[in-house]
Amino acid sequence: MLSHQVYLQGLGMGASLIMPIGAQNAHVIRTGVSGRHVGLTVAACVLVDITLIALGMAGLGKLVDSSTWLLAAARYGGAVFLLWYGLRCWTSAWRGAGITPASGEAGHLSRRRALCTVLAMSLLNPHVYLDTVVLLGAVGGSLAAGHRGAFAAGAMTASLLWFCALGLLARRCAFVLGRPAVWRAIEALTGTTMLVLAVLLLHEA
């Protein structure tokens, strides 16, 4: 029988880890404002989270947490990608007041490239693994076997609800957020977020 209390525990903990602004959230907002491949981006974020949560519940978290070389590879690889993406966003922000989501790179982004970008944004950030695989996996794994499914379902639901709401809200507010000056500010904020995350990753090394 599904334990509602354990489900809500998973929902709350999943939301607390997913909702803070990070690489995934900043990218979803940027994609929502551009209006290109929003559904694809949201679906990819949710599926990545669901997969990683399931792997964490299956015990992968202990392997990741104990592997020094795996964490190092994820840290440096993630830092390089975030630096590149952050600089690209800052370049876009400084192009001029005429830049908009439709006229920028997002306006002609292919589905394949959009998918590759969101997967890289999700999988090249070691914090994603620490949140979903290690932390959620550790808490869920400490529960009784009959409650682990409910906890995992709650955490997965948090990811589904959050990314769908974030993508929809960004898309609904695109008429304001998509104005040239505002769009430049979003690009600058996204770039700053990525650069800060990259510096934090390197600082932790």
Q: Which pLDDT belongs to residue 166?
A: 94
Q: What percent of the chain has pLDDT over 70?
A: 86
Q: Tokens for 8?
A: 């809500």
Mean pLDDT computed over 1-15: 85
**pLDDT exceeds cutoff 50 at 1:** no
**Distance of alpha carbon 109 from alpha carbon 101, whole angstroms:** 11
Amino acid 197: pLDDT:
80
- Count how many domains the chain has: 1
φ and ψ of 127, to 5 deg: -65, -30
pTM summary value: 0.78
Task: Report pLDDT digits (tens) over 177-188.
Answer: 777 788 788 788
Name the most confidently modeled range: 53-57, 74-78, 173-177. 53-57
Of residues 134 and 169, which shows the higher confidence score?
Answer: 169
pLDDT for the residue numbered 3: 77
What was the pLDDT predicted at 109?
Answer: 67
What distance in Å separates the CA atoms of residue 192 and residue 107, rounded to the nearest whole number?
Answer: 22
Q: Which two tokens stand for residue 7?
A: 């489900």
Please give the residue range of the domain that contains residue 85. Answer: 4-204
Q: What is the DSSP letter of 130?
A: I
Query: What is the structure's pLDDT at 204?
Result: 64
- Provide mean pLDDT across the span 5-24: 87
The pLDDT of residue 158 is above 90: yes
Token pair in block for residue 147: 């409650």
